[in-house]
Structure formats: C-alpha cells, structure tokens
Chain A
Amino acid sequence: MRIYLFILVFSLYSSLTAQVTNEQAFDFWQPQLAEQNIQGRLQCMLFTKNHFMYIGTSTGLYSYNGLTATSVSLNDVKQSSVTALYEDKDQTLWIGFQNGSIVQLQNNRAILFQPQEGLPKSAISKILTDAEGRLWFATQGEGIYVQHQKKIYNINTDDGLGDSYIYDLELLPNNTIAASTDKGLSLCRFNGTKKTIENFSTNNGLPDNIIRCISLDRNDKNVIWLGFQQGGICRFSLLNKQATVFPVAEIKDKQVNDILVLDQQVWVTTENSFVQLNRNGKPISTQPFSNPTQLAVDAEANGWLITKTGLLKNAAEKLQLIVKTSAQELNDVHDMWQDDEDNIWYTAKGAIIKQEANSTNKIKISLPGIDNKTDITCLYPDAEQNLWIGTMGKGIYLLNTKTNAVKRMGELPGNESMSVLSITGRNNNIWISSLQGIYHTTFPNGNLAFKNLTDLSGIGINYIYHIYEDSKGRVWFATDGKGLAMMQNNRFTHYGDKEGLTGKVIYSVAEDKQGIIWCAALEKGLFQFNGKTFTNFGIEKGIPDLDISSLDTDNKGNLFCISRTGYFLVDAETQSVIIPGNNQQLGMFNTDLNSTDHAKKGVVFHTSNGIFRYTNPSYQFITQPQTSITSVSLFLNKINASVQKNFNHDENNLSFSFTGIYFSNPALVQYQYQLDGYNNEWQPGKNDEVNFPKLQPGSYTFRVRSSATGNFDHATAASYSFNISKPFWKQWWFVLLSIIIVTGFLIYIIKERETAAQRWQQLQTEKLQSQYETLKSQVNPHFLFNSFNTLLGIIEEDPKRAAEYVEHLSDFYRSIVNLREKDLIPLGDELNIIEDYFFIQKKRFGNALLFDNKITDEQKTTYSIPPLTLQLLAENAVKHNIVSKDKPLMLELFITDDMLIVQNNLNEKTTREKSEGLGLQNIKNRFLLIADKEVKIEITSSHFIVKLPLIKRI
C-alpha cells in the first residue's frame, strides 16, 4: 500500500515537473545570467538611459549586458541588501538599501548620500526625482522623505499619509507623487512649506487597502494601475479619481507583486504566477512561477522578470505565440490568417482549423470532396471576410467565416482539378496563380467572372509563385525562371538581368510603407525597385540569409522577411536590417513560400513550435545595439575617462573596453573600432576590448560602433577623444628657450674669443716689448762692457773661474733667448736666470750686492712666472741704486700672502739713469693679461717692494 502510494505521488510529481518545464518553454522566457557569478537573491532591476541594465541583489549591485554580469564596486560604502534603484536626469544612479542607507553612483564612483538630517533606519522601497528635480524616497515604516532646497522633509501619518509603510512611489502629472501604503493610495504634493495629501482607500472604491505596486500607463498619462495584496488589480483614473476593478480569476485572492502596463497588454506577477492580460483586464495567459517579483520592459521592448530562481527575458509584445499545437499538426500548416476579431484560421490535412479569439478552443472545418492527401496551399480573406482556400489538384473553396459554410468555386473554369499556388488580392481584385494559368476576378460583384491572363502575360504556363498588386494598381508576377513581370493597364513589362534583377527565380513581392517594391529571389537575397531598375540588397546590407521564402510588411509597413534561419525586418525609413530576437528558440522556420499573413496587429508566421505574431509596438524602440565605452585604462589601470583626457608623453599605453548592448540578441553583436590619429580605418572586432601600446604624442579620438547584422551603416557609435602631450623637450617653449640659450652661448663664446684674441695680441706685443727691453738692457753696452771687464779681471786671476763666469754669462743669454718666447715659465727657471745674473753681477760688485733668495724648492715648481720678470726687476734695482760696500744693495725674494715679493733697499742714485719706465709697466701688463692679476708696487722710505701675484703651475 505504502509503495503504491509512493509510486502514485512520484508519478504525479514527475508529471507536474514535466508540465512546468513545458510551460516555461511555451512563453519563451529566456533564462538569463547563466554561468554568471551573482551573489545573493535578485531584488530589483533598472534600465538606464544609456541602455545599461543594473541588478540589485541581497548582497550588492551588478551590471548586465545580456551576456555577462559585472559586479559594480560600491567602494568602501557599507552596504546591505539593495532594495531600490533609480537613475536621475544627470545619469546619477541612486541605490537604496535594506538598512535605510542610500548611495549615489556617478562615473563609477560611489558616494554615500549623507544629508545632515540623517537617513532612515527602514528599508528604502523606492527612489525618484520629481519634475523640479527634488529627490523623493519611500521607506518601509518611516513614510516618505523629500529633499527640498538641501533640506530633507519627512511625510508621515502625522501629515495625513495613510500609513508609514510605503510599497511604491510614482511621479504623476502636476508634480504629484503617488504612494502606495498599507492603508490605501496617497497622492502627495509638497511646495516646500505645505504638504498636501489626498488618501484613497476601500472607502473610495478600491478593492483593498494594501496596495503593493503602482504602474504608470504608457499610453494614458492620467491613468495608473494598482496591484493589491488581496484584491487583484485595478485601473485608477487620476481625472475622476475612480477605480475600475478587474475581477480576474487568475489574480483574485493572490498577492500581486508587480504590474507592468505595456502597449496592448498588462502584465501582472502574483505570489505564484505570471499573468498576461489585455488592457481590458481579460487574461491572455497564465504561467506558474515561484514567487515572481519585479517586471520591466527595456528600450528594445523586451520584457524582463525577476523570479525567486533568477532573471528571465522575453520579446514581450513584439512576439506572441498565438497558436500552440502539436508538431504533427504544425507540419500540415501551409498558410494562416488572423481575422480582425483575433480568430485564427490555419490549414490542416483536408480541413481548415479555426482557433477562437483569446482562447484555445479549436473548430475543425472539413472541405468536402478532399482527402487527407490533398495539400491546402493557400488562404486569402477577401473584403467580405470570405476565406478563399487554394488546394493542390482540387481547386479553390470558399469559406463563409460567419457561418463556416464551405463551397467549391464552381465559377472558375477547370476548378475541379486545379492546383493553386497563390491567391492574393487588393480591394476587390483577386489574383489566382495555378499550374493551369493565371486568373483574375473582381469580388464582390455578384458575378464571379474569371479572366484567364495566361496568354496575355507572355510568361507562358509556368510557376507563378506570387502575384502582388501594389498600391499604385500595378500587378507583379513572381516567376520561376523568368524574373518579374509587371502588369499595368493590361500591358506587361518584364524585368530581368537588363534591369538589374539578376535573380531569375522570384519567390515573393512586397511593397513597404515608402512605396518601394521589394522582391525575394532564390539564393540572391532581396532586390529593391526604384521605378526603373532593381538593386540587390544582400549580405553586405546585413541580411542574415539569402534564401528568403516569404516577404510581407509588419503593422508599421516595414519589410518582413522569413528565411530558413528565421525572420528579420528591413526598416522602411532607414533601410536598416533588424534582427529582433533570437530565432533559434522559435523552432524550425517553415519555408513554404508566401506563408505569412499580414494581420492588423502584425505579421503571422509559423515554425515547428507554433503560430506566432510579430507586432511592431506603437512606441519607438531600439532596434540596433547601443554602443558605449565602459572603461578607459592607462597601463591596464582604469582611469576616470570623463575627467582625464590629457596624458603625458610616457602615458602612452591605453586600453578601451566597450560594449554594444542588444538584449534582443546579444550573441550577434560585433564591433568595429578606429583610433583617429593612429589609423583611420575601421577595424573589425568581436572582442569588447582593445589595447594601443606606445602611442606617439598627438590628438586621438577612439571610436567604436556595434552592429547585430554585420552592416555598420546604421550602427551607433561611441567615442573618446584624448591628447598625448609631447615630451617637454619637444614643446615649443623648450625649443625656443634652447635656441635663445645656445645663441646666447655662441655670442658669448665669440665675444670671449675676440677678447682672448685681443689679449693674446696685446700679450704678444707686451712680450715682444719685454724681450726687446731685456735684450736691449742685456745687450746694453755697459752690461757687456762691465761683464767683459770683470771677465778680463778673472781670466788673469783665475782662468778656471773665468770659464765658469763665461758659462754663467752664456747660460744667462741662452736662457733669455730660450725663454723669451714663452708666456709662463716655472719659477725655478726664472730663478736660474736671476742666479746667473747675480753670479755675473757679483763678480763685479762683490759683497756690495746681496741676494737673498727665500724661495723653497717646492715653491719653485709650484708656481709659474712670466719669463724675465725677476731678471727685469733685479736689473732695475741694480740700475737705479747705488751699489757700494758702504751701502750694499740687498735684493730679497720671498713668498708671503700668495704674493711673490721682490724687494730691495732704496739707495737711489742721484743721477738717475735714463729710464723709460717701460720695464715695470710691461710686467704689470703681462700679469694682467696672463693671470688677470694686479702687480702691486710699494715704495717705502727704505724699500722698493714689488708684489707679484703667484700663478700656479698648471
């Protein structure tokens, strides 16, 4: 018994789970965040104006681009569970937390919101800014806060607010804030001094007091929708303050978690289900979920849903599954029609099936006289809502859609065995293409006269895949092998290679909103007609497949195409290709030619998973990836790109991260980038990152664009301009400064050289003069006469010493001759000369001439002296003074205070020898020129002192 029970429970359980998975696939919710490392439970989501998505969890904040989720750093801001997200007009992100704190995120920098009044302790349930840009935030228990002129004001029950626990907050017209509480709806206004609050509760006709959510109506400013804890949902008019309650069984008595009002639909999440309603509150579908919470719609018109287990996305109103049936039955569907009452008619084996509007009830209408083997090829609803049914080999049937009565089209000659390829029409004209020929009739005129056009056309009996009458009354025939034929005023024109129509096999023709005729050709993609010729529109324009089996127009007149790989559109205004979603999950696309239906609400098509309707929402939505640069890095470290745009010459390694957000089909996004100033060509890239190392100084603009089709003509681009400055040695001011310095230096050198040359010349003159003076004095006949007299005396006395004397005399003269050319000679050499001189003179004067040399040997080598300086001074001393035994002439030579002192006692001759004073002056000049030093001459009462500056030997 127990085992039996277990089996029963188990089988029940497994069948339940199977049903659940089936249901989820049914509504095409795509699970998101697969393999993404998201911490905590998902709490809330937000789409920004930049088309970014942020997700708040119980542990932090993430951004998501459809493929990868990135944790958003809130720096060291102490955080708890994220409970509210809002983006203001300045694109600052406001993040509200469970613990009552609020964080602002601007340019990726998080700042804790710290008003001086402090922050609430209760969870933040909603943040928004009003028409004046004032910040409002709602709390779960402390009422509403509003920031007015930098001050925070609290609005709570004391001010008349229904309750302090706020679930939701919305900005209404007239700068009114709607707050939903445990005690009803409160409409609040605050002008800085006065708080005006209007409360609405069950007393005013609301079905419940606990209002868990408010949703604005996208199509009516003066309407809000409310979701209740136990009362379902209601529509609330702000004009007459009246609630319209929708008693929806699917929602009744369930806690409503969120409402989202779309274009045609209203979505509701309850504690355990997701419910789609039309705007009159009639349910379309219900799906079980484990605690689904927030609903949202992005700028691409995709729907998003947070459930307890994760995040889901679907194509929202763009794509509806309108008939769900078995794969077997779908295999027999070749054409379908959604009538203006939303009933759907589609072909089956030997029958037509009608699915009644807003239900899954199906009625099978059999066609008399045909069996299961006969294919029903096409359906055409005429102006009186009769359905024309074309078959293979059994002709055409007419179905009265009001009575469901079927009759054979007896008026058509040869109908019994006719094989129909296509029935089309416009207004009262009906066109039939069959293997037996082309027929035309007008309807209704009471008299169905069919005209056979086969012979007139010149096409011959051939496959005509599609006949299309355009808005100008031209009729287009898509042929199998002969291109396109066009009939206007009963005259046929043929289009082929010559007119640019290179495809011979044409499957389908359509006219877009702009009046442009398009046709689909076998393996050639699309062709576009400009009135005279055709232009190919192929892969390079972004179409994903060249084999297009059906052309149609959507509810806004854009070209709608079906191929084996899915459906896509060509925007009639921009001619950009739009791939609205991920086709793979829709199943195998049916490639029966011309099997779409142009219904009032959109294009109906079918795949192996069901019959779908693509609807272009009435509002504008994004159809191309939105490109943005997410970060700029310098040497792989992120920088604040909104501030930093100038770099030094060595800051030349930049990386750019970018993203093209296309939630509809993120895997298709590809990039092109260029760095203007480095390479002006667009580079393709599948990666969302690029690095430029070693950039030269200059001005650059990094541009990136993204596309989902491979064609970038309509792509959005993002850019970042920056400068890398030249190194300082390449700056103009540095170059100028350098030139000035170098020029100055050159001028200085030239001047210096000039002075040096002058000095050198002067020196030469002085030297020559000195030599001349010396020679003159030495060749002075007195000196020679005296010397020879002395010599004569010595020769007699001591011939040996005479030889020595002559040696000294000759040394003296040699020295003079050898050294006179030099500028400077060692002090020792000069002393040798003077010693030779004294030797010679002493022979004459004996002890009357005294020479006291106190120069050390070290000093002799350390210092230099202009040649013959000392000799000249000694000679001067001898020349001007009396040299006698009574008054001996004492010449002293010593070094003191860095001066070489040459001094002799004064004993001047009364008769002064002729002197030009040239000798002393010459010495002075030479010292000035050579060493730039002054020679000092002091004459005391007893001494004549010459102070020669010491010149160090180099």
Chain B
Amino acid sequence: MKLIQFIPVVWLICTSFVQPVIYTSNNGVVNFRSEAPFELINASSKELKGAIDLSKNNFAFRIRIRSFEGFNSPLQKEHFNENYMQSEQFPEASFSGKIIETIDYSSKGKYTIRAKGKLTIHGVDQERIIKSEIEVTGNSIRISSNFSIMLSDHNIPIPRVVKEKLANEILVSINTELFAK
C-alpha cells in the first residue's frame, strides 16, 4: 500500500533531469474541522508529503491518517482512527492529479490555481477540483488551500448517536511549502 502510493512521488523524482522542475515537501500542515451543532472538532498533522512537477503540471500529495493530533480527547482520536477512518485498513489519504492553470513559475508572485485529481480517503476515490493559492517565492512554492470533504462521499458513516456531534461536511485547510529537489 505504502509502496504503491510512493510510486507517483518516486516516479516524479526519477523523471526530473533539467532545472529544478520537481518541488517537494515532507512537513506540510493539514488541519481539519468538524463544526457540528454540539461539538467542534479540530485536528491537524504536520506530515503532509507532496511533490509538484512543474514541467508536467502534475502533483501528488499524501498523508498518514494516524499522524493527526489535537482532538478533544484521546478517546476521540481513537474513535477517529478505529471507527471512522479505519486507519489500519486505509492508513493514508492522498490527492494526485494535474493543475489546470498554466502558470509561469519563473516569475515570483501569488496565483490561484485549480488542482484536479483523485482524492482518496477511506479507500474511496472522488474526482475533485480543489482551488488553491500558490505563491512562487523563487526557491520555493507555498501552497495554501481550503476545501471541504463530505463524509458521505467517502463512505464514512456517521452513527445516529453522534449526528449532532459530527458534521457531514469536514472543512480542511492545507499549508505547505515545497522546495526544489
């Protein structure tokens, strides 16, 4: 599983010869919020791994589900991993695909782009277009993005008992800075 998900990253790395066209990061931040009427849940991870191939406008990101911290209680984290995300079976979430907009990465500045690809969470693929802000600084690319994930889209069941404590729509924010390889 791990190996398979590594393949796009490794492949991207291998296919780079000229210039710094591959940008990678190992410590991006992912934060998610569930704003249910009775409970607010917040958790984040600093283990977002990702790569962008500027020549092909491709990207791949992945994160270990168990790396999320900051729940309201340790028990909640356990529930998150065991009951909802089934982290044993689906240890990672990933998003890989292509960038729709063509951007001149040689000039510094901020751009809004749409990343289109396959978002895999809980083993369920969803075709998604996610809008992101990117900043070209010269030696790095900063990416920040806010989007939402519907639990129902990824077959993550919400038991009736926690319906008021867990929102179906989970708000996700991502912040990462990728450096030339």
**Given A9-B37, A182-B98, residue A210 in contact with residue B127 (CB < 8 A):** no
A1-26 CB contact bits vs B (8 Å, 1 = yes)?
A: 00000100100000000000000000
A6 to B114, CA, bound (A): 37
**A210-B114, A210-B116, A229-B114 known; A182-B100 Cβ under 8 A:** yes
With A182-B98, A255-B129 as contacts: A230 and B114 at CB distance below 8 Å: yes
Mask for A221-247, Cβ within 8 A of B = 1, else 0?
000000001100000000000000000
Query: Do A210 and B37 have beta carbons less than 8 Å apart?
Result: no
CA distance A183 to B100 in the complex (A): 7
Scan A172-187; emit 1 where CB is below 8 A from any B CB, else 0: 0000000000110000
Contacting residues, chain B, for A230 (C-beta < 8 A): 114, 131
Cα distance A682–B32 in the bound complex, in angstroms = 69
CA distance A255 to B114 in the complex (A): 12
Q: Is the CB of B129 within 8 A of A209?
A: no
Distance A210 CA – B131 CA, assembled complex (angstroms): 13
B100 touches A209 (CB 8 A): yes
Whether A670 is near chain B, meaning CB under 8 Å from some CB there, is no
Q: Which residues of B sit under 8 angstroms from A182, Cβ to Cβ? A: 98, 100, 116
The complex places the Cα of A255 from the Cα of B128 at a distance, in Å, of 12
Among B98, B100, B116, B127, residue most surrounded by chain A Cβ atoms (within 10 Å): B100
A616 located at the interface, meaning its Cβ lies under 8 Å from any Cβ of chain B in the complex: no
How many Å lie between the Cα of A709 and that of B18 in the bound state?
77
| Chain A residues positioned under 8 Å from B100 (CB to CB) | 182-183, 209-210
Which residue on B lies nearest to A13, using beta carbons? Answer: B37
Residue pair B129, A229 in contact (C-beta under 8 Å) = yes
Q: Once bound together, how far apart are the Cα atoms of A209 and B37, in whole Å?
A: 38
Q: Which residue of B lies closest to A6 (CB)?
A: B37
| Contact B127 A140, beta carbon cutoff 8 Å | yes
Which residues of chain A have C-beta atoms less than 8 A from B129's C-beta?
210, 229, 255
B contact residues around A165 at 8 Å (CB): 116
Residues from chain A with Cβ under 8 Å of B37 in the complex: 6, 9
The digit string for A656-689, where 1 denotes a CB below 8 A from any CB of B, is 0000000000000000000000000000000000
Secondary structure at the B interface, as helix, strand, loop or mixed, is strand
Min CB distance B118 to A, Å, is 10
**A interface, by DSSP: helix, strand, loop or mixed?**
loop
CB proximity of A143 to chain B, nearest CB, Å: 14
Which of chain B's residues have a CB closer than 8 A to the CB of A255?
129
Q: Chain A's nearest CB lies how many Å from the CB of B71?
A: 21
Task: Give the docked Cα–Cα distance between A182 and B99 (Å).
Answer: 10
Scan B127-148; emit 1 where CB is below 8 A from any A CB, else 0. 1010100000000000000000
A574–B100 Cα distance when bound, in Å, is 56
List the A side residues contacting B101 at CB < 8 Å: 209
List residues of chain A with CB within 8 A of the CB of B131: 230
**B129: nearest chain-A partner, CB-CB:** A229
Set of chain B residues within 8 Å of A229, measured between Cβ atoms: 114, 129
Q: Which residue of B lies closest to A5 (CB)?
A: B37
B21-48 CB contacts (< 8 Å) to partner A: 37
Shortest beta-carbon distance, A694 to chain B, in Å? 55
Q: Mark A156-170, 1 if CB is under 8 A from B, else 0.
A: 000000000100000
Give chain A interface residues in 166-215, CB to chain B under 8 Å. 182-183, 209-210
Docked complex Cα distance between A434 and B116 (Å):
71
Interface residues of A in 129-158 (CB under 8 A from B): 140
Considering the chains assembled together, what is the distance between the CA atoms of A229 and B116 in angstroms? 11
Shortest B86–chain A CB gap in Å is 21
In the complex, which residues 77-134 of chain B have their Cβ closer than 8 Å to any Cβ of chain A?
98, 100-101, 114, 116, 127, 129, 131
Give the shortest distance, in Å, between B156 (CB) and chain A (any CB).
16
Q: Which residue of B lies closest to A255 (CB)?
A: B129
A671 CB, min distance to chain B CBs, angstroms: 42
Minimum CB distance partner of A308 in chain B: B152
Contacts of A210 in B (CB 8 A): 100, 114, 116, 129
Chain A's closest residue to B37 (CB) is A9
Determine the distance from Cα of A515 to Cα of B114 in the docked complex, in whole angstroms: 62
- Set of chain A residues within 8 Å of B98, measured between Cβ atoms: 182
Cα of A230 to Cα of B101 in the assembled complex, Å: 12
Smallest CB separation, B163 vs chain A (Å): 13
Contacts of A183 in B (CB 8 A): 100
CA distance A9 to B164 in the complex (A): 13
Distance A9 CA – B114 CA, assembled complex (angstroms): 34
B-facing residues in A713-730 (Cβ within 8 Å): none
A84 to chain B minimum Cβ distance, whole angstroms, is 15
Q: Could you tell me the distance between the alpha carbons of A384 and B100 in the complex, rounded to whole angstroms? A: 57
Cβ of A209: which chain B residues have Cβ within 8 Å of it?
100-101
The docked-state distance in angstroms from the alpha carbon of A348 to that of B98 is 60
Closest chain-A Cβ to B129's Cβ sits at a distance in Å of 6
Q: Which residues of A contact B116 (CB under 8 A)?
A: 165, 182, 210
- Nearest B residue to A9 by beta-carbon distance? B37
Q: Which residue of B lies closest to A123 (CB)?
A: B127
A9 to B36 Cα, complex, angstroms = 12
Q: How far does the Cβ of B168 sit from chain A's closest Cβ, in whole Å? A: 11
Residue of A at shortest CB range from B112? Answer: A230
Interface residues of A in 229-271 (CB under 8 A from B): 229-230, 255
Looking at the assembled complex, report how far the CB atom of B155 sits from the nearest CB atom of chain A, in whole angstroms.
Answer: 12
Complex-state Cα separation, A229 to B114, whole angstroms: 10
**C-alpha gap A58/B113 in the complex (Å):** 31
User: How many Å from the CB of A227 to the closest CB on chain B?
Assistant: 14
Smallest Cβ distance from B151 to chain A, in angstroms? 14
B147 to chain A, nearest CB (A): 12
For residue A9, which residues in chain B have a CB less than 8 angstroms away from its CB? 37
A210 to B98, CA, bound (A): 12
Q: In the bound complex, how far is the Cα of B100 from the Cα of A6, in angstroms?
A: 43
A933 to B32, CA, bound (A): 117
Q: B116's closest neighbor in chain A, by CB? A: A182
Residue of B nearest to A202 (CB): B101
Q: Which residues of B contact A140 (CB under 8 A)?
A: 127
Q: How far is the CA of A255 from the CA of B127 in the complex (A)?
A: 14
Q: Closest approach, in angstroms, between the C-beta of A423 and any C-beta of chain B? A: 58
- In the bound assembly, the distance between CA atoms of A182 and B97 in angstroms comes to 12
The answer for the CA separation of A165 and B114 in the assembled complex, in Å, is 15
Nearest-neighbour CB distance to chain A for B103, whole angstroms, equals 13
Distance between Cα atoms of A230 and B114 in the complex (Å): 10
Q: A924–B131 Cα gap in the complex (Å)?
A: 124
A668 CA to B116 CA, complexed, in Å: 48
The residues of B that contact A6 with a CB separation of less than 8 Å are: 37
Instruction: Give the docked Cα–Cα distance between A161 and B101 (Å).
Output: 16
* A140–B129 alpha-carbon span in the complex (Å): 14
Q: Closest CB of chain A to B165's CB: distance in Å?
A: 14
A863 to B100, CA, bound (A): 115
What is the distance, in angstroms, from B167's C-beta to the closest C-beta of chain A? 13
Name, among A6, A140, A182, A255, the residue most crowded by chain B CB atoms within 10 Å (CB to CB): A182
Shortest CB-to-CB span from B157 to chain A, Å, is 16
In the complex, the chain A residue whose C-beta lies closest to that of B127 is A140
Bound CA–CA A210/B116 (angstroms)? 10
A494 shortest CB reach to chain B, Å: 72
Which residues of A in the span 27-45 have a Cβ within 8 Å of any Cβ on B?
Answer: none
A6 and B38 alpha carbons, distance in the complex (Å): 9
Nearest to A10 among chain B residues (CB) is B37
Kindly state the separation between the CA atoms of A209 and B98 in the bound complex, as whole angstroms: 13
Q: How far is the CB of A107 from chain B (nearest CB, A)?
A: 35
Complex CA gap A9/B101 in Å reads: 40
Min CB distance B126 to A, Å, is 12
Of the A-B pairs whose beta carbons lie under 8 Å apart in the complex, a sample of 19, sorted by A's number, is A6-B37, A9-B37, A140-B127, A165-B116, A182-B98, A182-B100, A182-B116, A183-B100, A209-B100, A209-B101, A210-B100, A210-B114, A210-B116, A210-B129, A229-B114, A229-B129, A230-B114, A230-B131, A255-B129
Chain B contacts to A: CB under 8 angstroms:
37, 98, 100-101, 114, 116, 127, 129, 131
Which 9 A/B pairs are nearest by Cβ-Cβ distance? A182-B100, A229-B129, A209-B100, A210-B100, A182-B116, A9-B37, A210-B129, A210-B114, A229-B114
16 additional contacts (CB under 8 A) given A210-B114, A229-B114, A230-B131: A6-B37, A9-B37, A140-B127, A165-B116, A182-B98, A182-B100, A182-B116, A183-B100, A209-B100, A209-B101, A210-B100, A210-B116, A210-B129, A229-B129, A230-B114, A255-B129
